[in-house]
Structure 1
Amino acid sequence: MTQLAVYETRIPGLLVVDLPVHGDDRGWFKENWQRQKMVAAGLPDFGPVQNNISFNQAVGVTRGIHAEPWDKYISVATGRVFGAWVDLRAGDSFGATYWHEITPEVAIFVPRGVGNAFQTLEAPAAYTYLVSEHWSEAAQSQYTFLNLADEWVAIPWPIPLDQAELSAKDLAHPRLAEVTPVPPRRTLVVGGGGQLGRALVARWIYRTDVDAVTRDELDLADPVSVEEFDFSPYGTIINAAAYTAVDAAESDEGRRAAWAVNVTGVGRLVEIARAQRATLVHVSSDYVFDGTTEVHDEDEAPSPLGVYGQTKAAGDQLVASLPEHYILRTSWVIGEGGNFVDTMAGLAGRGIDPSVVDDQIGRLTFTADLAAVIDHLLTTRPAPGTYNVTNEGEPVSWARIAAEVFALTGHERGRVTPVSTQDYYAGKAGIAPRPRHSALDLAKIHATGFAPREQFAALGEHLAG
C-alpha cells in the first residue's frame, strides 16, 4: 500500500501527494483530506472551506486552464485524469509547467495563481477539489486564463485537443504572451501614520504592492471600521498601530482605550489574518516584563507591571495563536515624530538642563532598523514566532542617552542631571511603573542573518539627518 508522502514540483508551491488507499473485494477507502497527517507530511495548512466535484461522463473531457484566487487540493473519487498546471503568477517561474496523472492514490495541492487543467482518461471521472475561499461572482472576476493549446507551454495532452471535448470559453482563452501575470498578494501597514508606519513607508517607497493606512482609514478600536475595511487583497498585515500612552493607560479612560486597541483590536486583526491565511507582523514591548531580569530573551514569561504592559502581553498571546506570525519585541523606540531623543535635542537647543532617570537600563530601537528587520523577516521567512529587536550596544540608562544627545548636538554632557526613578516621579500622580531592565537578547534575530546598527551610531545619524 502507498504511504502518505508529499513531493515538490518544478512549480513553486505545487505539491504532489501520494495517498494510502485501503481496498478489498468490496472496493476501497482512503482519507482524501486529513489535516493533521497531511500538514505534518508537508502540505500547507490552507484552511479549506468549500468542496466541489466535477463529474465527467466521457473520456476526453478537457477543462482549463484557470488560475484562481485561492488554494486548491485536487483528487479523484472515481476514474482517472491527466492534470496539467502552468504558473501564471508574476515572477521568475511565470510560465513553468507540470503535468501528472491523477488516480485515487494521488492528490495535488495547487497554490493561488497557478493555472489548473485536466483531461479525463477513464470515465466516469469524479474530479473533487477543496478550496480555501468560498466561490463568488466577484472572486470569479479575478480568474486568470490560459489557452489549453498554447504553443509555448506545449502541454502533451494524451488525447489531442482536436479530438477532445472542450467548452467554447476554454477555446477562446488567450495565449501566454497575452496573459497578465497574477500579482502577489499585497502588504498592509496598519498605523501608517505612526513612527514605525512612516519608517516602513519610507523603506518601501518604490514598492507598488504596499498600502499604509492611518487610524482615519482603519481604526482597530472601532468594530465598524474594521468590518467595513476590505482585507481580501492582503497576504501580509503589519500592525504598527498601538495605544502607547503608558501613563495615561493607568487612568480609567486610558485603561479602556489601551485594551480597546492593544487587545480587542489586535484580536480582530488576528481573526482577519486567520481567515485570510495572512502573515501577521505585530510589534510588542519591553513593558511585558517587570524588569527584574537584566537581559530578556524570547522565552521569558510575561510579567507586566502596568496596564500598558498588560495589554501588550495580552495582545502578544492572541497573535501567537496564528500559524504565520512574527512578534517583534522592542524597547525605547525612536523615529519620526515625538520621541525622547528629539525632546532632549530640543531642550539642549533652548538652554534647558534636564534631570533624567539613570536607573532604567536598556537600548534604543530606531524605527529605520525595526522596518529593516520586518523587511528581512518577510523576505527570508524564518520560523514564525517572537523575535527581540533593538539596536546593538551596551545597555545604558536614559540619562546616558540624554547626555549623548547633548554632546552630539554640541552641548555639554554635564547639563544632564542623573536622578533615580523614585526621585524623578516623586509627588506625581498617575505614573505607570517602569521595568528597570529593558535590554533584550538579540541572539535569535542575529541567527536569521540580521545585525541592527549600534545604537549610538544610529543616534548620530538620526540627529544629523
Structure 2
Amino acid sequence: MVGPEQGRDRGLLRVQGAVTSVPDLHYGGALKLTTSSIPGLVVVDMPVHGDSRGWFKENWQREKMTALGLPDFHPVQNNVSFNEKVGTTRGIHAEPWDKFVSVMSGRIFGAWVDLRAGESFGRVFTIELTPTRAVFVPRGVGNSFQTLEPNTVYSYLVNDHWSANASYTFLNLADETAAIQWPVPLADAELSDKDRAHPRLADVVPMAGRKTLVVGAGGQLGIALRSAFPDAEFADRKTFDIADPAAYEDRHWRDYGVIVNAAAYTKVDVAETAEGRVASWKSNVSAVALLAKVAQQHDITLVHVSSDYVFDGTVAGEHREDEPFSPLGVYGQTKAAGDAIVGTLDRHYIVRTSWVIGQGANFVRTMAGLAERGVAPAVVDDQIGRLSFADDIADGIAHLVNSGVQFGTYNLSNTGEPQSWAQLAAQVYALTGHDPAKVTGVSTEEYFAGKEAAPRPRNSVLDLSKVRTAGFEPREASLALRAYLARS
C-alpha cells in the first residue's frame, strides 16, 4: 500500500508505481517542510547553492528548520554510506531513535514503513531523494533505500548512539503487504543476506512507544499514578535512587519519553534541622538536577510536582503560576530551587499543588481517626487552602502529558470554596457521623507554641484557571472528600 504525496514535484516522486525522470540538480529554491502520510515523517526541501566549482547546502540547520516546525531532535552522530552500484538496497530497519536522512551525491529511491504500534502500523511512504531533498524519520519508522545512480553517498543524522542493548524492528524488503515497488527488482538488486531474511509484516512485533517512568512510586501521589499511567514503569528509592548519579548509568534513556517525578522530601519541620536541611536539598534539588540533565540530553518530558510552599502565602487572592517565589522555610526553598531547575528544560510540566490527600497517613485520615475515638482536637484555623486529592493530581498529570498542551507550570488542586484546616476537620467529623462542634480552631502560633516548627504559608489557595483552560476540570473538593471517606 504505497502512499506517495500527491501534488509534489513529480520529477522526484514515485507516482502511481512509475519512477519519473529526475532533472539535473537545480540551484536555489526555498527551505520547505511537507508532511507525509506517515505521522511525524517530514519531507524537507532545501536550497542548494552552486556555480562552476560545484555546490553547497546547509544539510542540517537547526534554527531555520525548527522554526518551520521540524522537531528539535538534537542529533549526536552522523553516519555516511557509500554505495558503488545502482540497485544497492538497504533496510527495512526501524530503530529507537530519530533520523535525518539526506543524499550528498547521486540519488536514491527511499521507502519508509511505519512499524510503530498504533493505527498507522504498516503505512508506507516512498519518494526519491537528491541533494535538494531530505526526510526526517521519527523513531520506530522503518527506513530503507535503493540507489538509482552509481557512487551514491547517503547520509543520516541520529539522536542517539548505537547500542547493542537497544530494541530494533525489521521488515522484509519484499513484504507483500507493504508492496514497495522497487525501481530495480530485488532479484537484481544488491542487498545483504540479513536484509533478505527479515520477517514479513504479519510477523513483525510493532515497536512500542517510548516509556513513562514514575519515580517516587511509594508515596501518596506515586500510588495514585499507577491508575493514571497503567503501562508506566514505577520506581522507588530502592530500585532507582534519583539522588545517586551512578543510578542513571544502567538505563537506555532513549527508551523513555516521560519522567514523572513524584519523589520529594516532605518533612517540613525536620527540614529546619541540620540533618534535615541536607536531606531536603539532596532530594528536592540535587536529585531534580540529575533528572533534569538526563531529560534534556534525551528529549524526555519531565513532569515535576511542586508545592504551594514556594510562596509565603501573603498574597491577596489566589496564587498564579507566574507569581515570584517567596518561600518561608527550608522545604519551600528547596522546592522553589527544584522548580527553577526544571523550568529551564525545553520539555517540562511543573504541577504545583497543595494539601495532598491520598493513600497512607494524611490529615483527613488523622481527623477521621480522632473522630472515631471521640477526641476533641484543636486545629489551625488561620491557614487557608484547598485539598488536592492524589487521584485528581494523577489524572491532571495524565491529561497534560497525553493532550500535549503547552509546556510550563500548572496549578492543580481540587476546586471549591477555600477552607481552613479547622473547617476541613469539622467537615470530616460531620461526614463520618460525629459532632463537628468538637473541633476547636486555634491560631498557628497557639498550635505550635513550645514546638520547633517550620514557617507555613497562611494562604495556599491556587488559581486553577490555566489548567482548566488546558482542558482539565478537577473535582469539587467537598465531593472528592466525601468519596474518599466512603472508601477509606
Partner secondary structure for residue 321 of structure 2:
coil
C-alpha distance in 2 between matches for 1:228 and 1:129: 27
C-alpha contact 1:53 1:128 (8 A) present in aligned 2: yes
- The residue number in structure 2 matching 1:289 is 311
- The residue number in structure 2 matching 1:424 is 447
C-alpha distance in 2 between matches for 1:230 and 1:248: 36
- 4+ aligned runs moved over 6 Å, structure 1: none
TM-superposition CA deviations, 1:251-306 (whole Å, max 9, x none): 11101000000000011111111222211111000011111112111111111111
C-alpha distance in 1 between matches for 2:244 and 2:144: 44
Worse-matched range after superposition: 40-49 or 83-92: 40-49
The offset of 1:153, in angstroms, is 0.8
The offset of 1:108, in angstroms, is 0.7
Correspondence 1:406 to 2:394: no
- The residue number in structure 1 matching 2:152 is 125
- One-letter code of the match for 1:434? R
C-alpha contact 2:36 2:42 (8 A) present in aligned 1: yes
C-alpha distance in 1 between matches for 2:243 and 2:126: 49
TM-superposition CA deviations, 1:234-254 (whole Å, max 9, x none): 221111100001111111110
Q: Which runs of 5+ in 2 are unaligned?
A: 1-27
C-alpha contact 2:46 2:132 (8 A) present in aligned 1: yes
Matches within 5 A, 1:234-249: 234-249=256-271
- One-letter code of the match for 2:152? A
The offset of 1:370, in angstroms, is 0.5
C-alpha contact 1:218 1:229 (8 A) present in aligned 2: no
For the aligned residues, what is the CA RMSD?
Answer: 1.3
C-alpha distance in 2 between matches for 1:350 and 1:254: 33
The offset of 1:445, in angstroms, is 0.7
C-alpha distance in 2 between matches for 1:221 and 1:160: 56
Correspondence 1:24 to 2:51: yes
- The residue number in structure 1 matching 2:94 is 67
C-alpha contact 1:187 1:235 (8 A) present in aligned 2: yes
The offset of 1:226, in angstroms, is 4.0
C-alpha distance in 1 between matches for 2:476 and 2:270: 31
Say how many residue pairs are matched.
459
**Aligned match for 2:236, one of 205, 214, 231:** 214
C-alpha contact 2:96 2:255 (8 A) present in aligned 1: no
Partner secondary structure for residue 329 of structure 1:
strand
Correspondence 1:86 to 2:113: yes
C-alpha distance in 2 between matches for 1:313 and 1:342: 28
C-alpha distance in 2 between matches for 1:464 and 1:66: 53
TM-score by length of 2: 0.92
**Aligned match for 1:165, one of 180, 186, 190:** 190
Matches within 5 A, 1:157-306: 157-204=182-229, 207=230, 209-228=231-250, 231-293=253-315, 294-306=317-329
**Aligned match for 1:351, one of 357, 367, 374:** 374
- The residue number in structure 2 matching 1:383 is 406
The offset of 1:59, in angstroms, is 1.4
TM-superposition CA deviations, 1:102-143 (whole Å, max 9, x none): 11111111111100000111232110001111113333xx22
The offset of 1:203, in angstroms, is 3.7
TM-score by length of 1: 0.96
Partner secondary structure for residue 155 of structure 1:
coil
The offset of 1:232, in angstroms, is 4.9
C-alpha contact 2:98 2:137 (8 A) present in aligned 1: yes
C-alpha distance in 1 between matches for 2:252 and 2:241: 13
Worse-matched range after superposition: 145-154 or 158-167: 158-167
- The residue number in structure 1 matching 2:18 is none
**Aligned match for 1:146, one of 151, 158, 171:** 171
Q: Which runs of 5+ in 1 are unaligned?
A: none
Matches within 5 A, 1:354-369: 354-369=377-392
The offset of 1:381, in angstroms, is 0.9
C-alpha distance in 2 between matches for 1:229 and 1:308: 30
C-alpha contact 1:333 1:366 (8 A) present in aligned 2: yes
- The residue number in structure 1 matching 2:15 is none
The verdict on how the C-alpha distance between 1:400 and 1:446 changes in structure 2, with shifts beyond 3 A counting, is same
C-alpha contact 1:79 1:122 (8 A) present in aligned 2: yes
- The residue number in structure 1 matching 2:132 is 105
C-alpha distance in 2 between matches for 1:333 and 1:128: 52
Correspondence 1:464 to 2:486: yes
C-alpha distance in 2 between matches for 1:124 and 1:132: 26
- One-letter code of the match for 1:443? S
TM-superposition CA deviations, 1:60-88 (whole Å, max 9, x none): 11111000111111101111111110000
C-alpha distance in 1 between matches for 2:201 and 2:254: 27
